[in-house]
Amino acid sequence: MAKGYRPVSRDQPFLLPPDMRDWLPEGHLAWFVIEAVGALDLSRFAAGKTPRGSLAGRAAYDPRVLLGLLVYGYATGVRSSRRIERACEEDVAFRVICAQDVPDHATIARFRRERFADPGAVEGLFAQVLVLAARAGLGRLGLIALDGTKIAASASKDANRTEERLRELARQILAEAEAVDGAEDELYGDARGDELPPELADPVTRRERITAALEGLRAEREQAGRDERAKAAEFRARRASGRRTGPAPLAAAVQLAREKLDRATAAQQARIDDWQARDNAARPAGGKGLDRRTRPRSPASEHVRVRQAAARLEKAKARAAEAERKAAGREAARKGPGPVANITDPHSHLMPVRGGGFIQGYNAQAARSADGLCLGVMVTAQTTDYSCFPPMLEKITAAGGILRAHARGPLRRLTARTGIVLADAGYLSQANLTCPGPDRLIATGKTRNLTAGPARSGGTARSQAVLDMAARLASYPGNITYRQRGPIAEGHFGNTKHNHGFRRFSMRGMARVNGEWTFQNTIENLLKIHATGWHPA
């Protein structure tokens, strides 16, 4: 006997209950998103006027609806505007959030593009969610972990071009523009005719991206020059103050050695001239002049200190020549094209990733509390982390102030006081160890070597601040405290990338990428609040 099957009836009048509030269970995330978005001040997300200042036209979508769709979409890993539009027709939770008034994907994309580019909008949203987190009882700031991760940009590595190639592309586009102008002049004469083609008139076209990429390469060159000059100036300042200086920066060593030779030569010549003047003054008075044995050796170039300074100058020149020779050898042996910029997203850079290889992307930073609350974020195009430490400390301090101001009761305010900031060796520098801010533990090497205590690094003695930090990490309680950094910081990056699927930015350009990273971490804070069972009043 065949097994019986459940009846299939596609003529049922209602596939869902007629009351939308019965479509989802009471504790569903969509209801929490609607409540949370409704409790926020969305004045920065409201629809703006047209370029001419008019509000005429079709009624706009409520920003609470569009923001709610983005919040729920990012929370469930649905970030594509087209997928969100499709979900508003097929997914019950999305249908509830938009109240079955389905916005098209262009509206969703335009709303996200404009709001994510506004730092005041996304940062204000982040701060407001921190207020909700404080009211929900979150924000234990005894330990705060800071870390960074590489996230791919919405661009391909194949879109990288060298400066020479970028200039060639720019010349081609200008030639195309001139050809179009000439053809239109021949066709229309003095009449206006039509607009230039979109690829030549649109402000976000390839021409502007190529120009931005060229400007980026030029800025990097200029910044490298400024850094070298800053190192030389710092070296001069240390030498002038009598502090230990170590070897001179290579780029300034020749100039510094030449200046020292000039000073030694001038000093010896001054002694010779002084002796000669006193000898000449003694002769007209009837004297025999000064004792010839007291006369300084002449000429000045033969003095021992001058010869030593000249020898140091020659050594500095030899070192500089050797450095140039090695640089030329590296340039000749290099397999890659050298400095490049991306014409799809000029702000993104090639980033080394763990395990080897590179991605075209950004370095995304985040600071998290012991209970998993995100306290501050930023995005940089630099591959290293240490320059992010001071601005992230400022964000941590500001977040702590928000949490203390809105915490429930004295105990919550006590746990919301900033304790120790934990960071790995990527943030290690003399400036980061000594800059103002909360207490910190910054690794001085790999975690497995921290118990070895103070050591030498790279063959040179470490600064006293680094030695003190190494000693602190090698002893109790610093060694136990620092080992809590990994679960606090790195576990959440794994959750963001693996569970939420956030491995690539949807936006392009530093401003929008920063806004998207801030928004993603705002959503994770909202999910933390939802997990506590607390609801906005």
- Residue 246 in tokens: 């170590």
Q: Can you give the pLDDT at residue 152?
A: 92
**Residue 185 pLDDT > 60, yes or no?**
no
Rg (the chain; Cα; Å):
33
Question: Which of the two residues, 101 and 448, has the higher pLDDT score?
Answer: 101
The pair of structure tokens assigned to 36 is: 């949370």
> How large a percentage of the chain has pLDDT more than 70?
70
| 137-155+348-505: CATH number | 3.30.420
- In 3D space, the residue among 89, 92, 49, 98 whose CA is nearest the CA of residue 70 turns out to be 98
- Of 431, 68, 85, nearest to 230 by C-alpha is 431
Q: Residue 187: pLDDT above 50?
A: yes
Most confident of 139-148, 162-171, 308-317: 139-148
352 has a pLDDT exceeding 80:
yes
499 φ/ψ angles, rounded to the nearest 5 degrees: -80, -40
Band (pLDDT 50/70/90 cuts) for residue 105 is very high
Q: In which band, very low, low, confident or very high, does the pLDDT at 394 lie, cut at 50, 70 and 90? A: very high
8 Å CB contact between 102 and 89: yes
What's the rounded mean pLDDT across residues 404-430? 89
Compute the distance between CA of residue 423 and CA of residue 489 in angstroms, rounded to an integer. Answer: 9
- Residue 331: how many other CB atoms lie within 10 Å: 9
**What average pLDDT is seen over the chain?**
80
| Tokens 């938009």 belong to residue | 98
Q: What is the pLDDT of residue 387?
A: 92
Question: 47, 499 in Cβ contact below 8 A?
Answer: no
Whether the predicted pLDDT of 393 surpasses 90: yes
**What pLDDT shows up at residue 515?**
95
Across 313-336, average pLDDT: 70
Confidence of residue 202 (pLDDT cuts 50, 70, 90): very low
Token output for 376:
């501050």
Residue type, 278: R
> Looking at the predicted structure, is the pLDDT value of residue 1 above 70?
no
pLDDT at 337: 54
Cis peptide before 299 (omega within 30 of 0): yes
Q: Can you give the pLDDT at residue 94?
A: 94
Structural domain spans, the chain:
20-48+58-116, 137-155+348-505, 246-337
Residue 323 pLDDT class (50, 70, 90 cuts): confident
Is the pLDDT score of 261 beyond 90? no
Q: Residue 223's pLDDT band (boundaries 50, 70, 90)? A: low
Determine the pLDDT at residue 460: 43
Mean pLDDT of 392-411: 91
Whole-number Å distance between alpha carbons of 214 and 221:
11
Round to whole Å and give the CA distance between 260 and 149. Answer: 46
How high is the pLDDT of residue 192? 43
Contact 143, 481 (CB under 8 A): yes
The pLDDT value recorded for residue 174 is: 56
pLDDT digits (tens, 9 = 90+) for 439-470: 999 999 887 667 665 554 443 446 888 999 99
- Of 94-103, 274-283, 299-308, 435-444, the one with minimum mean pLDDT is 274-283
Residue 145 three-state SS: strand
Q: What is the pLDDT of residue 439?
A: 94
134, 412 in Cβ contact below 8 A? Answer: yes
How do residues 47-64 score in pLDDT, each as one tens digit?
A: 765 555 555 567 888 999
pLDDT of amino acid 357: 86
Per-residue pLDDT tens digits for 462-502: 688 899 999 999 999 999 999 999 999 988 999 999 999 99
Give the pLDDT of residue 458. Answer: 42
Q: Write down the pLDDT at residue 246.
A: 59
Q: Looking at the predicted structure, is the pLDDT value of residue 281 above 60?
A: yes
What predicted TM-score, i.e. pTM, was given to this entire model? Answer: 0.72
